[in-house]
Amino acid sequence: MLVNRLLIGLCFLFLPVMLRAQCTTLGQTPATAFPVCGTAVFTKDIVPICTNNTIPVACNDGAQYSDKNPYWYKFTCFKAGTLGFGIIPKTDGDDYDWQLFDVTNHNPADVYTDPTLFVSGNWSSNPSRTGTAANAKSSINCAGPRFPNVNSMPTLILGHHYLLLVSHFTDTQSGYSLTFDAGTASITDSTAPALVKAEAICDGSEINVVMNKKMKCNSLAPDGSDFSLGSTPVTIVAASGNSCSAGFDMDSVTLVLSAPLPIGVYTLTAKLGSDGNTVEDNCDVGIPVGASLPLIIVPFLPTPMDSLTPPSCAPDFLDLVFKKRIRCSSIAPDGSDFIVSGPSAVTVVGAAGNCSSSSIGAISPTIRVRLSGPIVNGGLYQITLVSGTDGNTIIDECGKETPAGASLPFTLKDTVSADFTDQIFYGCKSDTIVFDYTDKNGVNQWQWTFDSTDKVTIEDPMRIYPVFGEKSVQLIVSNGFCSDTVNKKIMLGNFLKAEFEGPNMTCPKDPAMFKNNSIGNIGFWTWDFGDGKGSDQQVPPDHLFPQTGKEANYPVRLIVEEVGSGCKDTVTHIVDVLRSCYIAVPSAFTPNGDGLNDYLYPLNAYKADNLLFQVYNRYGQRVFVTQDWTQKWDGRIGGQLQPPGVFVWTLQYTDRDTGKKFFQKGVSMLIR
């Protein structure tokens, strides 16, 4: 239902509020959906008025949708393909909506909360037929008349289970027909119905009959006439489908006999019942007349200790499974009905069944026996039934007590540990790590994962790392029963890198300071300043380069050596020592490309902060400006070479050493 839907629904607002009750009729909730197949037309003459919950719909229109006056249908895809279906109202003016959900591996009620289950849906307010068609385009049509009431055919996935909601927005009880036509998918189970097993219940006065698939509850004759026991004085007097009280289909039937069957072998045969058919599946295909099963009546005995669900590694509980259900009231809650013995001591601390109600009280097909702690030692163990603190062992649904002393063996393997050791062999360019796992407790499977991607399955691998730093290692081991996982971080900290900071340019009388930024476990430093002098200190004293009267470049080199390994790394930076740091502007320049005096700029302005250099032509037009003394004027204006002449310049800056501000003005001659 859509909040504030169009006026099409307003004419029905006179209906009493009480009619908006929660849905309770079978078929009107997801859990009690009608089973359908593709070979029949499903007709509803009356639609009870009710509402369940809001439904997530892929419309993003801010509206709320819900299953109003609904019926739900369930089916399985037996052949992948497209689904074609139609919903035809009995009254043309009725507005029906629908939505299809893929509920594979989900609880049916998840349709109310999980938007990912959406497959297709149509909530158009247009009346008359709705459904899917081959020529339709959209998989979702939202509320309102502008949306068509036919969707494109959704694609079904083989083996997936689906729920189809048919929601009657119009508040009348007028019904509809649902047909499955066109499309390439099949929702019809082609498995022929058959009888699988028949066994006596308790003293043989009832028989449980199991079939190979879901069958329709309403195809079972209540008087049991769908089955025969042949020429025996004991007759079948009633039949009921198991689970039919909460749904429309069943896979087993309970037959009530006129008296307990004597010990012996009988034949149970399917026949036409008083309702004119055998038991039928959801596509109206019946069990063949004459299909039969042997029925063996054995002495009415207590239920034995039947089987034990194979325990996992280091179990702290054991699950017992019985052929007949056990009365929960007979299970001692403290677990004293059971003892466990084996290579190591095991203490039972509790027991409980997976209980459900029945006419004789709570019963369970299983019992979980809880232990005081995990069993970590391998070997042969057994669980034995004894008389508990409640004065009995366990009692089955037929009232028979299982004798004390019954036992079941089970085998466990030792728990395992994935702990490993590693040995690092350090190198200058790469490190090698040898990993060692000590074989114990029958471990025969190893899964190593290095840095999340590199995987090997040998016991003791070796890895070479050309890049240092933190490395991640995971080992999973197993002995075929127990497994364990260990994750470790290994730091390869012998990364060595020589690096330092220093001036790129300096004045001949200024001491140069160098900052050592080298990384690694360093024990030795060798500085070479390129002028015949050096230092072996980690941070060398400020260095004064020689004054030669000309500009010179000095390669400053640092060599670092790692402690222990003797590994070394080297880095070199060039320091440009200027001829002079006296700031001056040339009186003339010759921009002819010969590499001599080609530019006009303030020379040696290495220590000039906040510099501003400007050049003007004879008309007072500024032809060049810069705040970076290394940017130079090439004698061009707008890319055009200027003729010889006089140009005026201004220079202002702050001396870095003294903080004194300077302003200079002069002229320079451009010579060609």
Question: How is 479-543 classified by DSSP, letter by letter?
Answer: -SS-EEEEEEEEEE----B--EE--SEE-TTSPB--EE--BSSEEEEEEE-SSS-EE-SSSPPPB
Residue 588 is predicted with a pLDDT of: 95
Residue 14 is predicted with a pLDDT of: 29
Query: What is the CATH number assigned to the segment(s) 195-297?
Result: 2.60.40.1130
Fold of 307-412: Immunoglobulin-like (2.60.40)
- Reference 602, options 612, 591, 590, 617; nearest CA is 612
Residue 493 is predicted with a pLDDT of: 85
- Reference 395, options 353, 433, 427, 443; nearest CA is 353
Tell me: the pLDDT tens digits for 249-297?
999 999 999 999 999 999 999 999 999 999 999 999 999 999 999 999 9
**For domain 7-180, is the CATH number 2.60.120.380?**
yes
Residue 20 is predicted with a pLDDT of: 65
Measured distance CA(127)–CA(176) in Å, rounded: 12
Considering the domain delimited by 588-670, tell me its CATH architecture: Sandwich (2.60)
Residue 507 is predicted with a pLDDT of: 87
Residue 3 is predicted with a pLDDT of: 38
- Reference 29, options 356, 218, 247; nearest CA is 247
CB atoms within 10 A of CB 111: 24
Fold of 421-492: Immunoglobulin-like (2.60.40)
Measured distance CA(418)–CA(487) in Å, rounded: 9
Residue 439 is predicted with a pLDDT of: 76
Strand partners, 412: 379
Common-topology check for domains 421-492 and 500-577: yes
Residue 582 is predicted with a pLDDT of: 86
Tell me: the pLDDT tens digits for 590-631?
999 898 999 999 998 988 999 999 999 988 999 999 999 999
- Given a cut of 70, the residues of the chain with pLDDT beneath it are 1-20
Which 3-state string (H, E, C) describes 258-312?
CCCCCCEEEEEEECCCCCCCCCEECCCCECCCCCEEEEEECCCCCCCCCEECCCC
Residue 254 is predicted with a pLDDT of: 95
The number of CA neighbours under 13 Å toward the Cβ of 141 is: 24
The CATH label, of 3.40.720.10, 3.40.50.12370, 2.40.10.10, 2.60.40.10, for the domain at 500-577 is 2.60.40.10
Give me the residue spans of the domains in the chain.
Answer: 7-180, 195-297, 307-412, 421-492, 500-577, 588-670
Q: Look up residue 401 and give its two tokens.
A: 């007590």
